């Protein structure tokens, strides 16, 4: 199991990124929020771009924004493995997926807890990743929604039926207990469970 760590709950981002850089975590998960798609808003790119000063880990960028096209070229400049935005944006989805691919970066779609899995179907041929939200996006430290287990299975069945090689990531309330409900996924994205702990590596190991 691969692990991606979100620093959304961090109270000292530079220090926590340095500590994460000393672990064997697979990705750093960057939550980007515009205050429109979700109520919260993260730091502007001029600050986010400084992440390279603290970590050389590959980035897993999650755009919780109304206009992905505005952000894709910016985060494509960084050490980025995946750029994911929400299927609920409902506008120019294919165009934005193609834009991500044009930078040689893997593209993904995120899906909220109440959004039907079938919303992904038109875009499956383009996807490298499906991000299943196991909480409502926009805030760290939430509890895992138990029905996510069935949703992950549904996404896996959908990918298999379309012979898709896209990986499944799950984000929200991930810890040593809830990981058991995510056995069908490929990447566990965890934030406060790791960031608020004394040993990042031990918590990362507990999710593998």
Per residue in 32-56, pLDDT tens?
999 888 888 888 888 899 999 999 9
Residue 139 has pLDDT above 70, yes or no: no
Query: pTM value?
Result: 0.93
The tokens for 37 are 């798609």
> For residue 18, what pLDDT band results from cuts at 50, 70 and 90?
very high
Catalytic positions are 31, 171
CB distance 147 to 123 below 8 Å: no
- Residues 92-104 have a mean pLDDT of 97
CB distance 140 to 191 below 8 Å: yes
CB distance 178 to 144 below 8 Å: yes
List, for residues 1-15, the tens digit of each pLDDT value. Answer: 999 999 988 889 999
Distance, CA of 178 to CA of 200 (rounded, Å):
18
CB distance 183 to 54 below 8 Å: no
- Residues 15-29 have a mean pLDDT of 96
Of the candidate ranges 41-45, 63-67, 83-87, 167-171, the one whose mean pLDDT is the lowest: 41-45
């Amino acid at each position: 199991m691969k692990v991606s760590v979100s620093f959304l709950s961090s109270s000292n981002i530079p220090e926590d990124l340095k500590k994460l850089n000393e672990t064997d975590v697979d990705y750093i998960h960057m939550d980007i929020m515009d205050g429109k798609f979700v109520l919260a808003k993260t730091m502007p790119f001029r600050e986010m771009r400084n992440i390279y000063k603290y970590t050389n880990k590959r980035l897993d960028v999650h755009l919780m924004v109304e206009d992905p096209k505005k952000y894709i070229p910016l985060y494509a400049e960084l050490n980025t493995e995946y750029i994911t935005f929400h299927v609920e944006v409902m506008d120019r989805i294919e165009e934005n997926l193609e834009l991500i691919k044009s930078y040689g970066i893997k593209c993904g779609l995120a899906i909220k807890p109440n959004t039907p899995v079938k919303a992904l179907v038109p875009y499956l041929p383009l996807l490298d990743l499906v991000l299943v939200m196991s909480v409502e996006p926009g805030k760290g430290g939430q509890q895992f929604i138990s029905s996510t287990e069935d949703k992950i299975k549904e996404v896996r069945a959908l990918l298999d039926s379309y012979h898709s090689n896209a990986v499944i990531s799950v984000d929200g309330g991930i810890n040593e207990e809830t990981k058991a409900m995510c056995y069908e996924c490929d990447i566990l994205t965890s934030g406060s469970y790791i960031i608020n702990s004394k040993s990042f590596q031990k918590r990362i190991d507990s999710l593998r």
